[in-house]
């Protein structure tokens, strides 16, 4: 078990090391200025110095993305449920939802600030917009792809619509909801950082804009790496939850 | 118990069932046999209330159940167990839909049915035959007094199948449930039932009804007896005619 994990991991690990090594060598060999592209060692040094002042920013972004993610998930599941249970509503609004997703969120951001000011609300709206779509689509997919034999069984047994939904369609959709959650989790961090660019007291986004405007590129990289780490942590957490929730599923097994 | 009166059904131009009248008495095991496409599954959907007949009525215990659902218990062709539920949770599903759960009874029945070791297992850990057993117990535990069994053993291999038939009889003979059973197999129908209804095809009509005289409890030797073979011949003659 352990050894097989090691076997799986060493290749990508080596690839990352190689990439970092090449980066380091290249910056030195071509003597690239630090403000243009800092070497990995520059970034590590900068990180050491800056981390203590960085922590409050980190906390603020994590809080923001988690709350946005939770709201987005709730909205996404709610929308999917409504669209699923009311086919008419679905026919009417589903194209609308798809169109709404083709609008780049980043262009919406200034508008939201005009409407709602510089508080948390426009930021939460941005994250919610980014999160809800992958969840709504995956949940809806899960609902509609419910095994038809199971549906037939439930109907023959006299299940009503609520029982059909709670006992069959919802649990059946759990695996696909989780694939939506994984996407939404990573989106939420990105959306939080972007929303902070608009103006905030704290946050990785603020830290990043400040660093970028003073050409402290190593700091920008520190911010990027931290955002990546948060994103990965979210992903890992959702993966753990998934493992817990779908213990019953075996690879490639069907009903 | 269950009574169908002159039930007809067509889909578009195609008439599937014509004037089907049949009767299942309390505690009776009745088989429907007929060629593929003879509308047997449509008949089940009608009794289950998923479809409405074009003409005729369906009664259960004197009450009309045409177009109503929730009055019968059902065992489909595929086990159709819910993969996220353990065996005991699956077996309780039928009761859950009707409101009251009896955990102890379910546990006792699984034990009695030889499934005691897998009570807390998930369906994917079970073989095909075991899954069908679970599906049968699930149907038997549902509070409804009539069970519809839709070719439940057709996906199993020959050996498992014979085992399953004997097992089903051994369990069912202790309960008062009535069964309406769809099958393709004449052997299966003869071995299991009190009454066999033979359907024709296009549209399905009742061709003949036989009362099966073999006494219960029945065992595997019956399948090879002279009397059994004579009955089988009789039924084949009707089907081919």
CB contacts under 8 A, B 17-76 vs A, are: 44-45, 48-50, 69-74, 76
Range A125-138 average pLDDT: 92
Distance between CA atoms of residues A103 and A109, nearest Å: 11
- What distance in Å separates residue B187's CA from the closest CA in chain A? 27
The residues spanned by each domain of chain B are 2-72+145-240, 80-143
Query: Cβ contact (<8 Å) for B76 and A149?
Result: yes
Report the greatest alpha carbon distance in chain A: 75
Identify whether A254 is part of a domain.
no
Residues pairing with B58 in the sheet: B4
Note the pLDDT tens digit of each residue in B33-74. Answer: 988 777 888 999 999 999 999 999 999 998 999 999 889 999
> Considering chain B, what is the average pLDDT of its residues?
90
Whether A27 and A57 map to the same domain: the answer is no
In this prediction, residue B156 has a pLDDT band, given cuts at 50, 70 and 90, of confident
Contacts of B80 in chain A (CB under 8 A): 147, 149-150, 152-153, 255
Range A208-215 average pLDDT: 91
Contacts of A167 in chain B (CB under 8 A): 82, 93, 96-97
Q: Does A151 touch chain B (CB under 8 A)?
A: no
Note the pLDDT tens digit of each residue in B216-231. Answer: 888 888 988 999 999 9
- What distance in Å separates residue B18's CA from the closest CA in chain A? 22
Identify whether A53 is part of a domain.
yes
Note the pLDDT tens digit of each residue in A6-18. Answer: 888 889 899 999 9
Range A209-233 average pLDDT: 92
Query: Cβ contact (<8 Å) for B78 and A167?
Result: no
Whether A5 and A74 map to the same domain: the answer is no
Query: Cβ contact (<8 Å) for B80 and A150?
Result: yes
Bigger pLDDT: A101 or A36?
A36
Q: What is the ipTM metric for this complex? A: 0.91
Whether A19 and A44 map to the same domain: the answer is no
User: Which of A163, A246, A249 lies closest to B97 in CB terms?
Assistant: A163
Q: What's the total number of domains in chain A? A: 2
> Considering chain A, what is the average pLDDT of its residues?
89
Cα B157 to Cα A215, A224, A254, B102, B166, distances in angstroms? 74, 60, 19, 33, 15
Identify whether A253 is part of a domain.
no
Pick the CATH number of B2-72+145-240 from 3.40.1190.20, 1.20.1630.10, 3.40.50.300, 2.40.50.100: 3.40.50.300
CA B211 to chain centroid, in Å, comes to 17
Residue (of A234, A242, A239, A222) closest to A63 by Cα position: A234
The dihedral built from the CA positions of residue B68, B74, B78 and B80, taken in this order, carries a sign that is positive
Number of H helices, E strands in chain B: 8, 10
Q: Report whether A173 contacts B96 (CB < 8 A).
A: no
Range B105-114 average pLDDT: 91
Whether A194 and A74 map to the same domain: the answer is yes
Q: State which residues form the domain around A24.
A: 1-31
Q: Report whether A230 contacts A189 (CB < 8 A).
A: yes
Looking at the predicted structure, is the pLDDT value of residue A190 above 70? yes
The enclosing domain of A61 has a CATH number of 1.10.3720.10
Angle at which helices A217-245 and A40-85 pack, to 10 degrees? 40
Range A23-35 average pLDDT: 91
Structure tokens at A53: 């002042």
Bigger pLDDT: B38 or B92?
B92
pLDDT of residue B235: 92
Distance between CA atoms of residues B126 and B122, nearest Å: 8
Looking at the predicted structure, is the pLDDT value of residue A51 above 80? yes
Whether A89 and A74 map to the same domain: the answer is yes
Identify whether A160 is part of a domain.
yes
Whether A54 and A136 map to the same domain: the answer is yes
Note the pLDDT tens digit of each residue in A108-128. Answer: 888 888 898 888 899 999 999
């Amino acid at each position: 078990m352990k050894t097989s994990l090691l076997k799986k991991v060493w290749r990508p690990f080596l690839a990352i090391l190689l990439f970092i090594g090449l980066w380091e060598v290249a910056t030195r060999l071509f003597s690239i200025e630090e403000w243009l592209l800092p070497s990995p060692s520059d970034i590590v040094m900068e990180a050491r110095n800056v981390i203590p002042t960085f922590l409050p920013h980190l906390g603020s972004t994590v809080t923001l993305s988690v709350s946005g993610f939770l709201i987005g998930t709730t909205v996404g599941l709610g929308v999917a449920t409504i669209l699923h249970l009311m086919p008419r509503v679905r026919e009417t609004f589903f194209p609308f939802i798809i169109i709404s997703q083709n609008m780049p969120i980043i262009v919406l951001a200034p508008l939201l600030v005009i409407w709602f000011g510089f508080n948390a609300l426009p930021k939460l709206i941005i994250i919610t917009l980014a999160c809800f779509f992958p969840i709504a689509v995956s949940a809806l997919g899960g609902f509609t792809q419910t095994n038809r034999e199971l549906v037939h069984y439930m109907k023959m047994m006299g299940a009503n619509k609520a029982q059909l939904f709670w006992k069959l369609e919802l649990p059946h959709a759990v695996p696909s909801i989780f694939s939506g959650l994984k996407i939404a989790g990573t989106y939420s961090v990105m959306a939080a950082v972007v929303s902070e660019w608009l103006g905030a007291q704290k946050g990785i986004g603020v830290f990043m804009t400040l660093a970028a405007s003073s050409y402290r590129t190593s700091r920008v990289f520190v911010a990027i790496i931290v955002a990546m780490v948060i994103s990965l942590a979210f992903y890992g957490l959702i993966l753990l939850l998934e493992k817990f929730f779908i213990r019953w599923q075996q690879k490639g097994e069907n009903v | 118990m269950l009574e169908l009166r002159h039930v007809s059904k067509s889909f578009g131009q195609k008439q599937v069932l014509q004037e089907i009248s049949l009767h299942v008495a309390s505690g009776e095991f009745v088989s429907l046999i007929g060629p593929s496409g003879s509308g047997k599954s449509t008949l089940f959907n009608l009794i289950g209330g998923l479809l409405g007949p074009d003409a005729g009525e369906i009664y259960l215990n004197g009450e009309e159940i045409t177009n109503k659902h929730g009055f019968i218990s059902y065992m489909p062709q595929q086990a159709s167990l819910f993969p996220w539920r353990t065996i005991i949770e699956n077996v309780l599903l039928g009761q859950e839909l009707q409101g009251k759960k009896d955990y102890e009874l379910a546990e006792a029945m699984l034990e009695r049915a030889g499934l005691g070791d897998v009570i807390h297992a998930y369906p994917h850990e079970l073989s095909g035959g075991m899954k069908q057993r679970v599906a049968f117990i699930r149907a038997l535990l549902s509070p409804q007094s009539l069970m519809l069994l839709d070719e439940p053993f057709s996906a199993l291999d020959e050996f498992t199948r014979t085992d399953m038939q004997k097992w089903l009889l051994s369990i069912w003979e202790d309960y008062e449930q009535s069964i309406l059973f769809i099958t393709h197999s004449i052997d299966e129908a003869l071995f299991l039932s009190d009454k066999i209804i033979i359907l024709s095809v296009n549209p399905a009509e009742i061709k003949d009804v036989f009362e099966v005289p073999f006494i219960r409890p029945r065992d595997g030797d019956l399948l090879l007896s002279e009397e059994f073979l004579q009955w089988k011949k009789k039924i084949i003659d009707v089907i081919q005619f």
